[in-house]
Amino acid sequence: MSFQVILDEVEKNITKILGDLQCNDVAFSVSPSKSDFGDVSCNVSFLLAKQLKKSPQNIAQIISAKYEKCEHTLVSAVKAHESGYVNFIADWKKLSTLILLGSFSDEFGYTDLGKGMTVVVEHTSVNPNKALHIGHVRNIIIGDVISRLLQKTNHKVNVLNYIDDSGLQVADIIIGFRHFGFSEDPPEGKKFDHYCGDDVYVKTTAKYDGDPSLQDIRKEILCEIEDGTSEIAQFASRITQRVLANQLETCWNLGVTYDCLNFESQIIRSGLWGTTFEKLKKMKLVEYDDVGENSGCWVIRGHDNDKDKVLVRSTGTATYIAKDIPYAAWKLGLLGDPFGYIIYDKKQPGGKTLWQTTLDDISEKCSFAGSKVITVIDSRQARLQNIIADLMSKFESEGAYVHLGYESVTLSSDTAKILGLNTEGKQAQMSGRKGLYVNADSVYDSLLTRTAEETARRHPEMDVSEVNQIAHYVSVGTLRYEMIKQDLDKIITFDLAKSLNLEGDTAPYIQYTYARASRILEKSSRPYSDADCTLLSEQAELQLIRMIGMFGISVRDATINLSPKVIARYCHDLAVAFNEFYEKVRVLGLDDTTLEDSRVHLVASFKTTLKMALDLLGISTPEKM
């Protein structure tokens, strides 16, 4: 049971009262109050003012008087506020017991939003020619948290990672290896993906400006890779697999796992485009232009002021959108599945099986399609994604294909300067080609160094492995939290120096409160499972219980709005409530042992709730910090 029960009770009674007053269909809201206005507030008086020709204050009085006579168990008092709000004071003796007992259940915070529906979440999808940079991390963490939220709310989730192994960026590094003599092995101590991105890619593309003939070579290589049979194509495949393996290590280290890897090269070779194209023609969603600038092309008509989008050029070659459309249709299960599936050769942490598509042996069949698809891609791709979503809505019901967009991560002026670019105080867009980015692994490494130092300083008694374990949890937590604590439509300006700040609204703050709670439980030898919750009456205690009870409401909100930050804020607010409690209320060593039991019970409830909430964010909970 959560705080929702009292909201439900109030809503039910207000509806009944409205029925008595013969005012139906009033869209009033019942919500948790802001502080100092009781526990639950209702705005119904404002909405009725016109209809009843009375002031909101007056109506609030009428409603509160009527409410007293209703059957109610969780409300102890109703107050008509002079502003017009009707405020309700909870009967905390009852509500506390419900919330605290509920919090120990695995079902706590659970709402059945999915009804078992299968949802595809695609994220990461980084070109396999470089290491992940800090911008990719935002994508990955958003996608991962969304997956966790959907799982929590009874969706079956298939997490996909799309590997663009036949694009220009891959062709670029192949040119580097084959035409500029880059060694296939990275320098000592450097990961292969870093080497490909930092050295091969940057230095190869830098040569394009001075040598136009390279463009022809680029096209040739791209064709060979798409075709897939030549020696070059096989070489490229080996390279991309190696980069991919390194990229996955980074993701896994951050606590992110997948169900299936989809290779673009295979989508091209599978013939999915052909069947999709025929289907589009049949449904008259694509048209052939005889005249005009797109003469000889197959196009999708643009809406309103949007230009037509070319799908197949007059030369007969498909444009890059033509790769995305069949893939989107495949994800929705609209096409026959041409793929077989094999298990990826490295094991994911946590034991979840990772599959990958194959065309070589299609005996093993799986299904990774879903009735809803959420594609996490930054909002620069919004135009293209809208076209795809629009097309898919013609096949499936509206809203089956969702583009979850988010703003990019840019570099602060100071950080750009460190990387060798003077931006005169302005933030800078990252660029793989220019080598202007910060790798995810290096951010993690500096966080790890910093947090290990801090942990060792606090706990001289700990051995190195324990220190490193805690430092790992804190570093990953910090990185993840920074990526989701703000709204998706806010640009994150990444600053190397500031990223190492571990105070204030950060993951370590929240994890630290968890460790404090753990410490109390560790030191307490008293049994608390059947403690009397009605003894908890301090403001700080009730506030903490209230926050615990809000968990389910946050989960629901975050899932419906696909908004990870809601959970981040919840975790923070819950931690604040605990710290307040911790400062003001003593738990251990009380003369009144029954009260002590109750408080220990509350601490345990907080601890388990915070753990569940942090789990949704993929943030671990160290027992000590």
Residue closer to RNA by CB (options 96, 455) is 455
CB of 451 to RNA, least distance (A): 5
Give the closest residue to 610 by CA, choosing from 564, 576, 580. 576
Q: Does 605 bind RNA (CB under 7 A)?
A: no
Question: Which residues in 230-249 contact RNA (CB under 7 A)?
Answer: none
Residue closer to RNA by CB (options 238, 498) is 498
CB of 507 to RNA, least distance (A): 9
Residue closer to RNA by CB (options 68, 306) is 306
Residue closer to RNA by CB (options 47, 436) is 47
Rounded distance between C-alpha atoms, residue 137 and residue 254, angstroms: 9
Rounded distance between C-alpha atoms, residue 249 and residue 357, angstroms: 19
Binds RNA by CB under 7 A, chosen from 423, 493, 543, 608 = 493
- Which range, of 332-340, 351-359, 363-371, 560-568, touches RNA by CB under 7 A? 560-568
Q: Does 580 bind RNA (CB under 7 A)?
A: yes
Alpha carbon distances (Å) from 208 to 159, 175, 211, 576:
37, 11, 5, 54
**What's the token pair of residue 304?**
């309103």
CB of 75 to RNA, least distance (A): 15
The contact mask relative to RNA for 81-100 (x = CB under 7 A, - = no) is x-xxx-x-------------
Vertex 98: Cα angle to 97 and 103 (nearest 5) = 100
Q: Does 51 bind RNA (CB under 7 A)?
A: no
Residue closer to RNA by CB (options 223, 588) is 588
Question: Which residues in 427-466 contact RNA (CB under 7 A)?
Answer: 429, 451, 454-455, 458
Cβ(143)–Cβ(480) below 8 Å: no
> Residue 69: how many CA atoms within 13 Å on its side-chain side?
7
Residue closer to RNA by CB (options 253, 543) is 543
Q: What is the CA radius of gyration of the chain?
A: 29
Q: Which residue's entry shows tokens 């419900």?
A: 98
Rounded distance between C-alpha atoms, residue 360 and residue 357, angstroms: 9
Residue closer to RNA by CB (options 108, 514) is 514
Give the three-class secondary structure for 20: helix
Helical axes 321-331 vs 382-395, angle rounded to 10°: 50
Question: Which residues in 395-434 contact RNA (CB under 7 A)?
Answer: 407-408, 426, 429
Residue closer to RNA by CB (options 565, 601) is 565
Print the SS3 string covering 93-150: HHHHHHHHHHHCCCCCCCCCCCCCCEEEEECCCCCCCCCCEHHHHHHHHHHHHHHHHH
CB of 44 to RNA, least distance (A): 10
CB of 180 to RNA, least distance (A): 27
Question: Which residues in 502-521 contact RNA (CB under 7 A)?
Answer: 502-505, 508-509, 512, 515-516, 518-520
CB of 34 to RNA, least distance (A): 6
Binds RNA by CB under 7 A, chosen from 239, 470, 531, 545 = 470
311: enclosing H helix or E strand: strand 309-312
Q: Which residue's entry shows tokens 């040739």?
A: 220
Q: Beta strand pairing status for 309-312 and 298-300?
A: antiparallel
Question: Which residues in 363-382 contact RNA (CB under 7 A)?
Answer: 379-380, 382
Give the closest residue to 150 by CA, choosing from 158, 138, 160. 158
CB of 496 to RNA, least distance (A): 15
Rounded distance between C-alpha atoms, residue 152 and residue 203, angstroms: 45
Q: Does 24 bind RNA (CB under 7 A)?
A: no
Q: Does 47 bind RNA (CB under 7 A)?
A: yes
Residue closer to RNA by CB (options 41, 266) is 41
Q: Does 307 bind RNA (CB under 7 A)?
A: yes
Q: Does 565 bind RNA (CB under 7 A)?
A: yes
Q: Does 588 bind RNA (CB under 7 A)?
A: yes
Q: Beta strand pairing status for 75-80 and 40-42?
A: unpaired
Residue closer to RNA by CB (options 68, 487) is 487
Binds RNA by CB under 7 A, chosen from 207, 352, 383, 394 = 383
Rounded distance between C-alpha atoms, residue 358 and residue 354, angstroms: 13
Binds RNA by CB under 7 A, chosen from 319, 353, 486, 608 = 486
Q: Does 489 bind RNA (CB under 7 A)?
A: yes
Question: Which residues in 129-168 contact RNA (CB under 7 A)?
Answer: none
State the amino acid at position 237 in one-letter form. Answer: S
Q: Does 582 bind RNA (CB under 7 A)?
A: yes
Q: Does 105 bind RNA (CB under 7 A)?
A: no
Q: Burial level of 475, CB count in 10 A (0-12/13-18/19+)?
A: buried
Q: Does 480 bind RNA (CB under 7 A)?
A: no
CB of 459 to RNA, least distance (A): 8
Binds RNA by CB under 7 A, chosen from 25, 112, 583, 591 = 583
Residue closer to RNA by CB (options 40, 74) is 40
CB of 49 to RNA, least distance (A): 6
Rounded distance between C-alpha atoms, residue 196 and residue 219, angstroms: 20
Q: Beta strand pairing status for 118-122 and 40-42?
A: unpaired
Rounded distance between C-alpha atoms, residue 166 and residue 168, angstroms: 7
**What's the token pair of residue 260?**
């299936």
CB of 85 to RNA, least distance (A): 4
Residues 409, 412, 413, 414, Cα dihedral to 10°: -140
Rounded distance between C-alpha atoms, residue 175 and residue 351, angstroms: 37
Residue closer to RNA by CB (options 179, 458) is 458
- Which range, of 1-9, 99-107, 181-189, 576-584, touches RNA by CB under 7 A? 576-584
Binds RNA by CB under 7 A, chosen from 490, 534, 539, 594 = 490
Number of neighbouring beta carbons within 10 Å of residue 17: 20
Cβ(150)–Cβ(389) below 8 Å: no
Q: Does 557 bind RNA (CB under 7 A)?
A: yes
Number of residues that bind RNA (CB under 7 A): 74
Binds RNA by CB under 7 A, chosen from 22, 24, 25, 34 = 34
- Which residues make beta-bridge pairs with 312? 298, 318
Residue closer to RNA by CB (options 82, 184) is 82
Residue closer to RNA by CB (options 56, 167) is 56
Q: Does 491 bind RNA (CB under 7 A)?
A: yes
Residue closer to RNA by CB (options 326, 564) is 564
